[in-house]
Chain A
Amino acid sequence: MNDKPVNHRAWFMVLPVVALVAFSAALPLMTVVNYSVQDTFGNNQFFWAGADWFEKTLTDPRIHNAFLRQILFSSIILAIEVPLGVFIALNMPKKGVWASACLILMALPLLIPWNVVGTIWQIFGRVDIGLLGRTLAGLGIDYNYTQNPIDAWVTIIVMDVWHWTSLVALLAYAGLRSIPDAYYQAAKIDQASRWAVFRYIELPKMKGVLLIAILLRFMDSFMIYTEPFVVTGGGPGNSTTLLSIDLVKMALGQFDLGPAAAFSIIYFLVILLLSWVFYTVMTAEDAKESKR
């Protein structure tokens, strides 16, 4: 990076932000850390618990199961949303009125609040009054997301795909638009197949934005709470209890502040770690290639 000429006055400009971040992020986080090493039996009396909660959390089968469900969920939605988003981006019109119309249409799901999305799908899928539920029942398909775990999973996955594929598609579209026309012309002249154009021109040029899309979708899906909670409430049974749903149950449902705090910290570290791994693996590949 370039070293800019030093000017210490700049620090004063940043101060308000630093204070704000400290107040809104650092202080609550410290509270959580505080809770995670103490126990309480109510009455605001706390006892030192050391690393007990961390040990319990790491060995708790309930949390293990939630963790596995979470990994499964994130993997499935990434496996669907990324290719689907790229596919949509490739087929979107490049200019004219239709391009703008497409962009607006694609942006719509992104503008809807999380809990509204959950409510829409919760009603949409109901067998008694929902359009989807009634239609499927009418077709003779036995679908009921409140009873059948597989139906519940399909519902929340389809919902997430509906909600978030646009984001991947828009990012990929931006990446595609930055490719100069000359590349496509050269490919025509070389008689490259559609697949070769994608593999050797579009994919390499989209790589940067796709990396961002994957990271965003991964982090976001790993922390997902509102939508599945509104639809299934984690059920039937615990079948759709993802990590964050489990965490809220523990902290607010059972009021186990200590374990929940320890859980939160581990959760946070896992996301941080996985994101870091994702990022380094994908950029290291890049660096290696350009070095050769």
Chain B
Amino acid sequence: MTLTLESVSKVVRGETHIHPVSLTLSRGSMNVLLGPTLSGKTSLMRLMAGLDQPTGGRILWEGRDVTGLRVQDRGVAMVYQQFINYPSMSVFENIASPLRIAGLSRPEIEERVARAAAMMKLTPMLQRKPLELSGGQQQRCALARALVKNAGLVLLDEPLANLDYKLREELRAEIPAIFEEAGSIFVYATTEPHEALLLGGNTACLWEGRITQFGPTAEVYRKPGDAITARVFSDPPMNFLRVQKRGARLGLGSGQEIDAKGPLAELPDGRYVAGFRPNHLGIEPRGAHLLEFSARVAITEITGSESYIHVDHGGDRWVALVHGVRELPAGAEQPVYLDPAHVYVFGEDERLVAAAPYAVAA
């Protein structure tokens, strides 16, 4: 089972919503569409489902062109951010509804509903109406209905966004296991990098209607092909630093000049943008191989186990994520330290020039 998009694009009233996209999704795979609001996640899903007609390109299902085919004829299931169930039907009837349409026999319906309900921990609630359930249970009901359909393609459009943090965490942990069992092609849209990482599978980064990168999730995270992907796939946001390479030295925007180390040492002279994630920026000099930057504390946020230290370095705002509770006074001078092994180097065109050595080694 494969779903192939061949340079599929979408233009609405002269405005490009989706730039030509080519993508192949295969059976039993979890595919995350990661990008901010309005980056084209929902538009792309609607094209995959057949709810919208692409302006250009073809959509193939197992090699067969399905571009013009209606959504009803495609075998697609979809779950939305809002909890959408039939309010007047019981949970059982809700889950059974796609099976009744498919004309399955009564015992078979009962068996498949029971299985899906057990998977989604809905068994004790089968006789209740959706509105008598909590938000998390309502969304489980919608997910069960999508699963039971046995559709080749299951589209999940930010399904957990309206749930409480803790509920989200629990369902997120369950979803990958459930999907491995089901064997369909799953497409999951989210704005949160953390969610993409937890779901695993493959990730496509979206930015302004373009897929900037597609590949196994951990690989896209550790080897972003350009600065946009790195920015989208980093929470807290990735830190950036403009540098000018001159021989063995690096000129920084702040006027500071430091020795070029790690991947920076081997670059030809020129202007670059260095990117590094907050968890790799520290406040302790743990060795001579670290790069040291002068900075000023803007604010600290403490989560109980970790501290986010927001600093200003020559007009750039960086975040350092460090272990433990570190309350630093705002305005204080605080040098920050960075292992060159964790630095990504991007060209002025934002393309990746050199990946962080630690990620290449992994």
Contacts and interface: CB of A to CB of B under 8 A. Distances in A.
B70 A3 contact: no
Interface stretch (A4-12, A132-140, A163-171): A4-12
| Residue among A2, A4, A5, A7 with max Cβ neighbours from chain B (10 Å) | A5
Nearest to A7: B70
A7 B74 CA distance: 14
B224 interface: no
Interface string B47-86: 0001111010000000000011111000000000000000
A182 to B, nearest CB: 17
A81 B172 CA distance: 55
Interface in A2-56: 2-7
Contact of A5 (B12, B50, B55): B50
A2 B43 CA distance: 10
A71 to B, nearest CB: 38
Contacts of A3: 52-53, 55
Contacts of A4: 51-53, 70
A152 to B, nearest CB: 52
Contacts of B46: 2
A208 to B, nearest CB: 21
A2 B52 CA distance: 6
Contacts of A2: 12, 46, 51-53
Contacts of A5: 50, 53, 67-71
Contacts of A6: 53, 68
A3 B12 CA distance: 9
Contacts of B68: 5-6
Nearest to A10: B70
A177 to B, nearest CB: 19
A6 B52 CA distance: 10
A5 B73 CA distance: 11
A129 B273 CA distance: 93
A3 to B, nearest CB: 4
A7 B12 CA distance: 20
B227 to A, nearest CB: 32
Nearest to B12: A2
B261 to A, nearest CB: 51
A290 to B, nearest CB: 15
Interface in B142-178: none
A162 to B, nearest CB: 38
A4 B54 CA distance: 9
Nearest to B71: A5
A5 B51 CA distance: 7
Nearest to B46: A2
Nearest to A2: B52
A5 B68 CA distance: 5
B12 to A, nearest CB: 8
Contacts of B69: 5
A127 B185 CA distance: 80
A6 B68 CA distance: 6
A7 B71 CA distance: 11
A185 B12 CA distance: 38
A7 B50 CA distance: 12
6 contacts: A2-B51, A4-B51, A4-B52, A5-B50, A5-B53, A5-B70
Interface of A: 2-7
Query: 4 nearest interchain CB pairs?
Result: A3-B53, A2-B52, A5-B70, A5-B68
Given A2-B51, A4-B51, A4-B53, 17 more contacts: A2-B46, A2-B52, A2-B53, A3-B52, A3-B53, A3-B55, A4-B70, A5-B50, A5-B53, A5-B67, A5-B68, A5-B69, A5-B70, A5-B71, A6-B53, A6-B68, A7-B70
